[in-house]
A and B are shown apart, each in its own frame.
Chain A
Amino acid sequence: MQGIAIRLQDLRKSFGRTAAVAGVDLEIRDGEFFSMLGPSGSGKTTVLRLVAGFESPDQGRIELAGQEVTGLAPFERDVHTVFQDYALFPHMTVEQNVAYALKIRKVPKAERLARSREALAEVRLAGYGDRRPAQLSGGQRQRVALARALVGRPRVLLLDEPLGALDLKLREQMQSELKAIQREVGITFVFVTHDQEEALTMSDRIAVFDQGRIAQVGTPAEIYERPATPFVASFVGTSNLLDGEVARQVVGAPGTYNIRPEKIRVLKESAEADEPEHATATGTVADVVYLGDATRLLVDLDGGGRLTAVQQNLETSAEDVAAYRGTRVRLQWHRRHAVRLPS
């Protein structure tokens, strides 16, 4: 279907004795919003730096739009980066920062000016050209960094946890703006984050990193609904793992299973399963966490093991849910939501 923007083959990189990237194969499509998700130290940022050319791999191959770039310097790659702490040049004005890439390419001054103004308008910072980075807020600096990386219209834009330093409200706003800008300019975005919610809401596809390797690649729905490993299940969303004897009893077959908390309904112990397709298990509520919009119940199953269930607070309030603690309940879920994980 589409072209391939980035192809990584058996990419490896060690720092001293630690293998930061331990064999990564990956294809990122043209025009895709692609996220690399993982905890810190999982190798996602190192892969980004390898693609940008700041580090050179010990082994493996990096292709950009079909061309091998493995040994090329950063300035020879048609890739621009938005850095975690923005890395704006403090001695230049906002406009000089944005126009930097164009100046290096010897774009004539008038065009340079027009294009950097346009880029600043794209990130809703028109009129801020004469300020210094120090005079801007965190969110504004973030936009300048974005404009600076976008103005040269690179083949691929790399974003290294660009929203990490922003507060929650601003982050949510920037998430939707980033997504909108990406749709508008049509450039391939490779977005590194440790925030699973951010990855789920913004991405076309996600690669989940675990200890220098990719644990799973897929759409947000695939990653969330069908996690490939226990690690993916626990890192993306809240996991509810059942295995060994408990799995045999509750699910009816051996193996490791994951059930998302919101798929579980909490019923009275005496209740019957609604449909034959539903599985149930009884247990005691061990703990109740009031979340405002929802309540999280930790239930110790009679057969052993513990499941977390999330209930919307449609009718209930904080006082009601506090009374749940210690009560007997029956948990019910659709059988297809008990997802078997390859062990």
Chain B
Amino acid sequence: MASEAPATARGSGVRRLAGALHRRPRLRLALLLTGPLLWLVVLYLGSLAVLFASAFWTTDSFTSQVVKVWSTDNFHALVTTPVFREVIVRSVGVALAVTALCALIAFPVAFYTARVAPPRRRPLLVVAILTPLWASYLVKVYAWRLILSQGGLADWLLAPFGLSGPGFGLPATVLTLTYLWLPYMILPIHTALEQLPAQLLDASADLGARAGRTFRSVVLPMVLPSVAAGSVFTFSLSLGDYITVQIVGGKTQLIGNLVYSDIELNLPMAAALGTVPVVVIVLYLLAIRRTGALDSL
């Protein structure tokens, strides 16, 4: 083997190393994963653990200093204080509403981009759907603030019908979040619809099914996992958001706002609040897993 290797010392050194690695699969795996795993365990899971642990501490009410005494008071407060309960329910409600709206809007859009539009134009349409993601989050939210402000675009458009825009508040928050996360719902549905074999639709029609029936019995069940996959994005992104609601939400409070306002004064309480979305999303993922959506991610 050595005699066949290139004459240069460097070449043969690299070859020998490659050969040595080839014979030690475990070493190769260790070299590949040590760095990323350190990152994941220490920085990502580590900070989650610290967050969870600090939720069991308390603060000195005079100095706002963290007192490292273990207690479950914070979690107790989460469940018993009406404001917290209300905000948690509202936040989950907003996330669900945004997810439902995204799904309703995304399906027809994705159906058009994946199956109706001329095949040559489809990649362009996908790019068009993705372009908003290149713009700054804040710019987009402030654009919505302008649209929804008094005498803004929404008011002006609805005036001929004797209506006015929703103004700032909960509906505006849901609307803006729906706009922000819509691409994350369109893309998986688009992919699923694009991969749906045309022959299945032909076969359904051939066996006597009209369009509505084919949609209910063939298209929807086959695309549903991708809707669920998209909802993981829209749901978790909505649940964690606290900036949009500050800009267009008026006085509306979501979990993120409470965390934000508590972080200076009562860090352990903020940590306890912070674990709520984590728990909710874990529960959501467990529910989604039952649909098989995570297999296709």
Q: Do A and B bind each other?
A: yes
A residues whose Cβ falls under 8 Å from a Cβ of B: 52-54, 73-75, 79-81, 83-85, 87-91, 100-101, 104-105, 148-149, 152
Q: Determine if B209 and A104 form an interchain contact, defined as CB atoms under 8 angstroms apart.
A: yes
Q: Choose one: B202, B210, B213, B221; the contact of A81 (CB below 8 Å).
A: B202
CB distance from B221 to the nearest CB of A (A): 5
Q: Determine if B207 and A80 form an interchain contact, defined as CB atoms under 8 angstroms apart.
A: yes
Q: Which of B197, B207, B210, B217 has the most chain A CB atoms inside 10 A of its CB?
A: B207
**Which B residues are in CB contact (< 8 Å) with A100?**
204, 207, 209, 217
Known: A89-B218, A91-B221. A148 touches B207 (CB 8 A): yes
CB distance from B208 to the nearest CB of A (A): 4
Q: How far is the CA of A31 from the CA of B180 in the complex (A)?
A: 60
**Which A residues are in CB contact (< 8 Å) with B208?**
75, 101, 104-105, 152
**B contact residues, total (Cβ < 8 Å):** 17
**Which B residues are in CB contact (< 8 Å) with A91?**
221-222
Q: How far is the CA of A79 from the CA of B205 in the complex (A)?
A: 11
**Which B residues are in CB contact (< 8 Å) with A149?**
206-207
- 9 pairs from A and B in contact (CB 8 Å cutoff): A53-B206, A73-B205, A74-B205, A80-B206, A81-B206, A83-B199, A83-B202, A87-B199, A87-B203
**Which A residues are in CB contact (< 8 Å) with B209?**
75, 100, 104
Q: How far is the CA of A88 from the CA of B200 in the complex (A)?
A: 7
Q: Determine if A101 and B207 form an interchain contact, defined as CB atoms under 8 angstroms apart.
A: yes
Q: Determine if B207 and A85 form an interchain contact, defined as CB atoms under 8 angstroms apart.
A: no
**Which A residues are in CB contact (< 8 Å) with B206?**
52-54, 74-75, 79-81, 149
When C-beta atoms are compared, the residue in chain B nearest to A100 turns out to be B207
B residues 187-208 touching A (CB-CB < 8 Å): 197, 199-200, 202-208
Q: Determine if B207 and A87 form an interchain contact, defined as CB atoms under 8 angstroms apart.
A: no
Q: How far is the CA of A85 from the CA of B197 in the complex (A)?
A: 10
**Which B residues are in CB contact (< 8 Å) with A81?**
202-203, 206
When C-beta atoms are compared, the residue in chain A nearest to B222 turns out to be A91
**Which A residues are in CB contact (< 8 Å) with B200?**
87, 89
Q: How far is the CA of A283 from the CA of B150 in the complex (A)?
A: 100
Q: Which of A90, A100, A152 has the most chain B CB atoms inside 10 A of its CB?
A: A100
**Which A residues are in CB contact (< 8 Å) with B205?**
53-54, 73-75
When C-beta atoms are compared, the residue in chain A nearest to B207 turns out to be A101
Q: Determine if B202 and A104 form an interchain contact, defined as CB atoms under 8 angstroms apart.
A: no
Q: How far is the CA of A148 from the CA of B18 in the complex (A)?
A: 55
Q: How far is the CA of A73 from the CA of B222 in the complex (A)?
A: 23
**Which A residues are in CB contact (< 8 Å) with B207?**
75, 80, 100-101, 104, 148-149, 152
Q: Determine if B202 and A54 form an interchain contact, defined as CB atoms under 8 angstroms apart.
A: yes
Q: Choose one: A80, A85, A152; the contact of B199 (CB below 8 Å).
A: A85
Q: How far is the CA of A53 from the CA of B206 in the complex (A)?
A: 8
| Shortest 9 CB-CB contacts between residues of A and residues of B | A87-B199, A74-B205, A87-B203, A101-B207, A104-B208, A81-B206, A75-B208, A91-B221, A74-B206
**Which B residues are in CB contact (< 8 Å) with A79?**
206
CB distance from A10 to the nearest CB of B (A): 25
**Which A residues are in CB contact (< 8 Å) with B218?**
89
Q: How far is the CA of A342 from the CA of B52 in the complex (A)?
A: 90
Q: How far is the CA of A152 from the CA of B208 in the complex (A)?
A: 10
CB distance from B126 to the nearest CB of A (A): 25
Q: How far is the CA of A104 from the CA of B210 in the complex (A)?
A: 9
Known: A80-B207, A104-B209, A152-B208. A90 touches B222 (CB 8 A): yes
Q: Which of B205, B213, B221, B222 has the most chain A CB atoms inside 10 A of its CB?
A: B205
Q: How far is the CA of A54 from the CA of B200 in the complex (A)?
A: 12
**Which A residues are in CB contact (< 8 Å) with B197?**
85, 87
Q: Determine if B222 and A74 form an interchain contact, defined as CB atoms under 8 angstroms apart.
A: no
Q: How far is the CA of A100 from the CA of B205 in the complex (A)?
A: 11
CB distance from B206 to the nearest CB of A (A): 5
Given contacts A53-B206, A74-B205, A90-B222, could you give 17 more A-B pairs where the C-beta distance is less than 8 Å? A52-B206, A54-B206, A73-B210, A74-B206, A75-B206, A81-B202, A83-B199, A83-B202, A87-B199, A88-B203, A89-B200, A89-B203, A89-B217, A91-B222, A104-B207, A104-B208, A152-B207
Q: Determine if B221 and A74 form an interchain contact, defined as CB atoms under 8 angstroms apart.
A: no
